[in-house]
Copies of this chain bind each other. A is one copy, B any other.
Amino acid sequence: VVDVDGVQIGGRDVVMIAGPCAVENRSQILETAQAVKSCGGTILRGGAFKPRTSPYSFRGLEVAGLELLALAREETGLPVVTEAMDTMQVDAVSCYADMLQVGSRNMHNYALLEAVGEAGKPVLLKRGIGATIEEFLESAQCILDTGNPNVVLCERGMRTFETATRNTLDLAAVPMLKHHTRLPVVVDPSHGTGHWWMVPAMAKAAIAAGADGLLVEVHNCPEDALSDGTQSLRPEKFRTMMNDLRAVAEAVGRRCSTADTDHVVRPLMAVG
């Protein structure tokens, strides 16, 4: 079991890590965080450092994004996970985040694996798009070898010939990883499919397959999202999905970490 600031991943509760692809501005992250909290999400995700595939594409707010995540944590009480994309970002990310994410593109970046391991915080390690399960476990081992036992594995879809979905979500990785390791396993149905309307079905399937949690993209206004809008759930869809997941979790002897069903979304008066 990995403890992220009080949230247990790998126990009886299915953990819901949710939030936008990228932190874009104050109101976006605070509104989304409130929505995540009120729907029963247990950890807030959001990217401060983003992959930059062109000099004109959005690179994330960087340190300012980390500060907004910290503010969202303060407002909601949700622990925060965010990605470090280079060894030089690890210190800054560690200062603000409760859990460090190693993204799919960096699963084979051994210097980074070592640096996040040594940072001492829990690590969310995403499977590479072209990586086998065996290689995924080797990368996890690189982190464990630094003496940091708090690694959570995330299946997020493989690259295959199928183009109807953004990636091919390999749910068999869940039982296979659990066969080989005691590390918790979560699933990202947002990147795994690339279509918001497929997320609920695959989220249910992931829990049924034995996942310890989900990583889901939620955005307060997906049509305005700077990235991944087509695979982000709007808050009301996320709420509906959370309600549906509860029954599936119970059917497999788990519990969905969604205590706040009677939570009243408080008006975001502080938000400009």
Contact residues of A with B, CB < 8 Å?
A: 51-55, 85-89, 105-106, 108-112, 128-135, 138-139, 141-142, 145, 158-165, 168-172, 174-176, 179, 192-193, 197-198, 201-202, 204-210, 244, 247-248, 250-252
Are A252 and B204 in contact (CB-based, < 8 A)? yes
Q: Give every chain B residue within 8 A of A111 (Cβ-Cβ).
A: 85-86, 88-89
Are A162 and B158 in contact (CB-based, < 8 A)? yes
Are B52 and A142 in contact (CB-based, < 8 A)? yes
Chain A: interface secondary structure?
helix
Other-chain contact of A138, B53, B172, B193, B252 (Cβ < 8 Å): B53
In Å, the complex CA distance between A97 and B86 comes to: 22
Other-chain contact of A86, B112, B201, B252 (Cβ < 8 Å): B112
A126 shortest CB reach to chain B, Å: 12
In Å, the complex CA distance between A85 and B161 comes to: 25
In Å, the complex CA distance between A139 and B172 comes to: 26
Are A162 and B133 in contact (CB-based, < 8 A)? yes
Other-chain contact of A109, B106, B139, B202, B204 (Cβ < 8 Å): B106
Are B165 and A168 in contact (CB-based, < 8 A)? no
Known contacts A88-B87, A171-B171: does B247 contact A134 (CB below 8 Å)?
no
